[in-house]
Structure 1
Amino acid sequence: MMSLPDIARATALEHRMFPEGGAVVTLVSGGADSVALLRLLASGALGDFAGRLRVLHVDHMLRGDDAAADAAFVEALCAEFGVPCRVVRYDVAAYAAAEGLNLEDAGRRVRYRFAEQEADALADALGASRSHVRIAVAHTLDDHVETFLMRLLAGAGASGLRGIRPVRGRIVRPLIAARRAEVREWLASQGASWREDATNADTARTRAWIRAELLPLIETRFPAFARTTERTLGILADEDDLLAEMAEAFARDFATVAPGRVELDRARMATLSRAMARRTVRAVLAAAFPEAGRLEAEHVEAIVDGLSCEDFARDLPFGLRAETEYATLAVSRRADTPAPVEPCLLEVPGRVDLGVAGAMTARYAEPGEMPATRDAAVLDADALGLPLLVDAPRPGDRIQPLGMAGTKKLHDVFVDAKVPKRLRPVTPVVRSSGDVAWVAGLVTSERFKVTDATKRVVVVEWERP
C-alpha cells in the first residue's frame, strides 16, 4: 500500500502539477486534508519550494469564534513551518445573497478569486512568471466521488459528471487520488492535529448527507466503489476533453467575440449536431462573459433553439441578452446592467483592476501629505486590517459616515447622492476586516478617520474608467 506522500508525488508527476523552479500558494482551512497538503509541501515531499511557498486562509465569517480559532490554528502551523500566511476575512453570506448563490458556491468563488490574486502577488514579489505559480488545494478522492454523486442527483451533463479536475489552469490537487481515511491515518502517524468544522456533519446539506450516509451505504455493498468510480470518471474526463477541444475549435470558426458581445453565425451553427451546438454555445459565452459559466442548461437550450428562429430574443441571467440579427445570433450585455465589481484583494502599496469600474490603488503616506478628495480616501493605517478588500455594494451594507454617531445604509447613501441604480454595482466599496471603510466617490467611514494621534495614513484612490 502506497503512503500518502507517495500517492501525492505520483499524482503530481502524472499530471505535471509543479513546474521546475515554480512557486505555490496553498489554501489551508485548518481541516485534515489541507493540513496534510501543507505538511507535504513544507517538508519538501512534493518538491523544493523553499522561499516560494505561501498559505492563504479565508475566513467566511460564518462560524464566529470557531472561525477565529481556525485562523489562529493555521497561523500557528505556518509559523511552525516558517511559511508566510495570509488570513482574509470576507462576508460570504452577504456575497451569496447579492449574487444569488448558495453558500458553498459563493465560498468557492471567493477563495479561488483571492487565491489567484495571491498567486499573482507572489509571482511579482519573486520576479517570476505568473504562469509558474500554482494554487494547491486539498481535494481528495472522496471529494471527487461526492461531487460526482451530487451532480448525478442534480441531473448534470457529461462535463459536470466528470467530477473534480486534477489540474485546472493554475489550480492543482495533489491529493485527488487519496482517500480521506488515508489522509487522516497519515496525519495521526505524524502526531499532527487539525481542526474539525462542525457544519460538515450537518446532513441537511447535500454534500454532508452524501459523505455521512449515502457513500458509506454504497460501500457496504460495493467496497471498491470509490476506486471504480475514479476509473470511470477518468474515462469521462478524457472524452469530455476531446469534445471540449472540438467545441472550442467550432467556437473560433463560427463566432466573433468582442468586448461585451459575441455573434454566432447561424448558418454555420446549423451544421452542428445539437449536442455539439450546446457545447459550442457554452464555449463562446465563456470566452466573452466569465459569469456565463453559471448559466443553467435551459438557457443554453434556448439559445440553441433561437439559432433557427428569425425573431428570437431572450433576456438571460447576469444582465445578458440574446437575439437574432439577420445571419447571426448575438449575445451582449444589457446597457443597464454592467457587471458588478468582483471581490479582490488590495495590497498596500498595490493596485487592482476593477474592469468596467476602473482601478483602485493604495499607498502609505504621512499625515497631511495629501488631502482627501472625492476620488481619494485618506485612512488611518493603524486602524485598518490589511489587505483591504474591494467589491460591490451588498444588501444590508452599512457605514458610519464621517462626523455621524450612528450608521447609515449604503442604499440610503446612494439614494441621497442620486446615484442611478445601474451605476451602483460598479461603485467600488473598500472594506477592512469586514467593515466598510470607503464607498468610492461618496463617503468615508468615521471608524478609519485620520486624527491628531494618527502616525501614518493609507491613501486609497479610485481611477475612474
Structure 2
Amino acid sequence: MPSVSRRYATGQNRFERPSGRANNELAAPVVLMVSGGADSTALLVLAVTSTLDIDDGRGRSRIARERLHVLHVNHELRGIDAEEDEEFVSDLARRYGIPCTIRRVDIAARAASTDGNVENAGRIVRYAEAARLANELSASFGTPRSAARILTAHTADDRAETFFMNAIRGTGAAGLSSIPRRRNRIVRPLLDCAHNELCDLLRMRGIVWREDEGNANTRYLRAFVRHEVMPVVEHRNPHVVASLANTCDILSDEDAYLTSVAARTLRKLVRREGLGLVVIDAARLAATEVALARRMVRQALLGVCSELRLEARHVARVLELVAAGEGATTVPLGVEARVEHGLLVIRSRQALPAAVAAWLEVPGRLPLSDGRVLAARLHLVPPGDVCAYARSHALEWVGQSVLLDAAAVGIDPVQGGRLWVDVAHAGDVLCPLGMHGQSKKLSDLLGEAHVPVEERPLVPIVRTSPTGAVVWVAGIRADERAKCVPATSQLLELSLLPAP
C-alpha cells in the first residue's frame, strides 16, 4: 500500500471545476465527523491541509475551508473521558479555524429503549446528527442538501474488521462488501489508508490524539475482531487488509448490479405499500430465483424500517414462510413479516393506525385514523325497481358504497339519526347480503375476503348501536336485514371514501 506521505503531502491544489456543475454545489457544506481518535483527527488535519476525494466529480482536490464544519457527538458513556474528548475536538477545530458543533446524547438510554445494543444506538445517533447538521448548514449556505458531504474516517482496517464482523454475524454479499466508499451524502475518503499510516502521519506532524480505552474491551464484537481475529489472520497473510479491500470492491460492484435487478423485480410484485408497510405477491416471490428473492426480501424489510440490522437468518426465515405459504415472524426492532392469503405483508410497529370507535351522524362524515372517510347520507327512492337500483349502485362502487333501507337500521327519514362504528369483536355474527338470512361469523367473513389478521382492526364495522346488529362491514358486505326491499321508502347511502 502506498505511503500516506506520498498520498497526501503534496499540498497541490488540483481544483478543476467540472463543466456544467453549479457553483453553489461546489460551495456546499462538508461535515467532518470527528471523535478525537487517530483516524478522525487525521481526517480533520488532511481536510484542512491537503487534498481529499469527496466524490464530487473533482477527484483529489482541496476543500475550501469555509465549507468545512466539524461535528462531535458526546455519547455520555465514559464520564470525564468523554468530556475530555469533547474538549480535545473543540480545541483542535479551533486551532485550524474550523467551526465545531458538539451534540450530547444519552446513548445508554437510547439503547435501553430499543434493542439494548449500545454500539448500534451510537451509530444511528451519530449519522442522524450528521444528517441534521448537514441539512441545517445547507439551508444557511443556500445549497442543495444533496450537494452536502458527510465525511467519516473509516480506514482499510475498519473495512477488513467489518468484513469479519459481518461474516461472524451471518450476512450476504452486501454485508461482505463491508463499508462502501459512498452511501448517498456519506463519503469515506480514507478507506484506502491503513490506521498505522495515519498514526505515523500525525506523529510526523507532532499532533496527538485521544485513545478510547473501550476499544480494547473484547466484549464488543469490533474489539474482539481487532484484537483477537486480525492478528491471527495477518500472521498468515501480512497483506490481508489490502487483499480484503480488493475483495470488498469486487463484491460491492456485483452487489450493486444485483440490487438494481432485484429492485426492478420487486416493484412488479408489490401490491400495496405505505408508511411502514409493504404487501408483496408471495406466490410470484416464491417462484423467483433465490438469489434475487433474498435481495427483494431484504429491500422490502429495509424499506419498512431503514434502521434494521439484518442478518442472513432473518431473510432466510421470511423466505421459509413464503415457501410454506403461511406463518409469521418478527425481526429486530419489531418489524413483522406475515404470509397469508397469498400475500407477504411486512409492517413496522407504527404501520397500523389506531382502530376507530365513534358515532357516525346520519347525514354526516366520520374521518378514520388511516385518512379514509366514512360518509352517510339519505336519498329519496327513485322511480322504478329500488332493489335493482341498489344492486347496480353497489356494482358501480365495487362495494365501497352501498344503498340500504334507512328504516330497517333505525334511521328516521326526516330527522336522520346516528350509527355506531367500531371494529370486529370476538363472537360477532351477521347475515351477509346474498345468503338469504343465513348467519356467519364476522371473523369467517373477513377471512374469506382475504383480510390479514393484523389489518382487521382497520375494517370499519357499522352497527345500529355499540351493542347492536351489524349493518355494514365497510367495503366488504352489508347485512341481509338492512337491504332494500320493494317497500323501501328512504335510502341510506354508506360510503367508504379513500384518503384525499
Indicate the residue corresponding to 1:242 in structure 2. 257
Q: CA deviation at 1:4?
A: 4.8
1:81 aligns with one of 96, 105, 109: 96
1:296-375 alignment to 2 at 5 Å? Answer: 296-334=311-349
Matched, 1:42 2:48: yes
The answer to whether 1:203 aligns with 2:218 is: yes
Q: What SS does the aligned partner of 1:99 have?
A: coil
Change in 2 beyond 3 A, CA 1:146/1:319: closer
Q: Secondary structure at the match of 2:40?
A: helix
CA positional deviation for 1:173:
0.6
User: Which is further off, 231-240 or 329-338?
Assistant: 329-338
Aligned residue-pair number: 335
Give identity over the alignment, percent.
40
* Amino acid in the other structure paired with 1:163: S
> Which amino acid letter does the alignment assign opposite residue 33 of structure 1?
D
Give the secondary-structure state (helix, strand or coil) at the position aligned to 2:64.
coil
Query: For residue 4 of structure 2, what is the amino acid of its counterpart?
Result: S
Per the TM alignment, residue 56 of structure 1 is displaced from its structure 2 partner at its CA by 0.7
Q: What residue identity is the alignment partner of 1:151?
A: N
2:224 and 2:9 map into 1 onto residues whose CA distance is 27
Write out aligned runs for 1:94-133 (5 A).
94-133=109-148
Instruction: Check conservation: 1:24, 1:49, Cα contact below 8 A.
Output: no
Rg comparison, structure with higher value: 2
Query: Quick one: distance in 2 between partners of 1:283 and 1:71?
Result: 37
Pair 1:30 & 2:36 matched? yes
Paired residues of 1:319 and 1:338 also in contact (CA < 8 A): no
Change (3 A) 1:317 1:206: closer
CA distance in 2, matches of 1:5, 1:196: 26
CA deviations 1:234-290 (Å, max 9, x no partner) are 111111111111111112121142223211112321331223112101112322332
Unaligned 5+ residue runs, structure 1? Answer: 340-355, 357-465
Query: Aligned AA for 2:47?
Result: L
Distance change (3 Å), C-alpha of 1:317 and 1:230: closer
Amino acid at match of 1:22: A
Higher RCO (CA-CA < 8 Å; seq separation 6+): 1
1:287 aligns with 2:303: yes
CA distance in 1, matches of 2:191, 2:103: 26
In the TM superposition, what is the alpha-carbon distance from 1:311 to its structure 2 partner? 4.1
Deviations 1:377-435 (A, max 9, x none): xxxxxxxxxxxxxxxxxxxxxxxxxxxxxxxxxxxxxxxxxxxxxxxxxxxxxxxxxxx
Q: Are residue 142 (structure 1) and residue 157 (structure 2) matched? A: yes
User: Cα deviations across residues 23-81 of structure 1 (Å, max 9, x unaligned)?
Assistant: 20011111111011001112252323222111110111111111111111111111111
Mapped contact 1:4–1:183 kept (Cα < 8 A): no
Residue 269 of structure 1: which of 285, 290, 293 is its match?
Answer: 285
Distance in 2 between residues matched to 1:165 and 1:145, nearest whole Å:
12
Contact 1:8–1:177, Cα closer than 8 Å, also in 2: no
Change (3 A) 1:335 1:198: closer
Matches within 5 A, 1:411-450: none
| TM-score between both structures, scaled by the size of structure 2 | 0.62
For residue 20 of structure 1, the aligned residue among 22, 26, 44 is: 26
SS at match of 1:20: helix
**Which string of whole-angstrom CA distances, capped at 9 and with x for unpartnered residues, describes residues 276-305 of structure 1?**
1121011123223323x3244333223223
d(CA) in 2 for partners of 1:258, 1:336:
8
Name the SS of the counterpart of 2:280 in structure 1: strand
* Aligned-partner residue type, residue 178 of structure 1: C
Instruction: Please report how far the alpha carbon of residue 335 of structure 1 lies from its aligned counterpart in structure 2 after TM superposition.
Output: 6.5
Going from structure 1 to structure 2, the CA distance change for 1:189 and 1:117 (only over 3 Å counts) comes to: same
Which residue does 1:433 correspond to in 2? none
Do the aligned residues in 2 keep the contact of 1:7 with 1:175 (CA within 8 Å)?
A: no
5 Å-filtered alignment, 1:164-175, equals 164-175=179-190
- Cα distance change of structure 1 residues 334 and 202 upon mapping to structure 2, 3 Å threshold: closer
Quote the offset at 1:309 in angstroms.
Answer: 4.2
**8 Å CA contact 1:41, 1:49 repeated in 2:** no
Deviation readout 1:332-387 (Å, 9 max, x if unpaired): 34569889xxxxxxxxxxxxxxxx9xxxxxxxxxxxxxxxxxxxxxxxxxxxxxxx
Label 1:261 to 1:205 Cα distance change in 2 as closer, same or farther (>3 A): closer
The CA distance in 1 between the partners of 2:146 and 2:50, in whole Å, is 21
Could you say which residue in structure 1 is the equivalent of 2:468?
none
1-structure distance, mates of 2:128, 2:101: 14
Q: 1:186 to 1:335 in 2, by over 3 A?
A: closer
Q: What does the per-residue CA deviation read over 1:178-207, in whole Å, with 9 as the maximum and x for residues that have no partner? A: 001100111111111111111112233332
Q: 1:279 is matched by which residue type in structure 2? A: R
Matched-pair contact (CA < 8 Å) for 2:36–2:209: yes
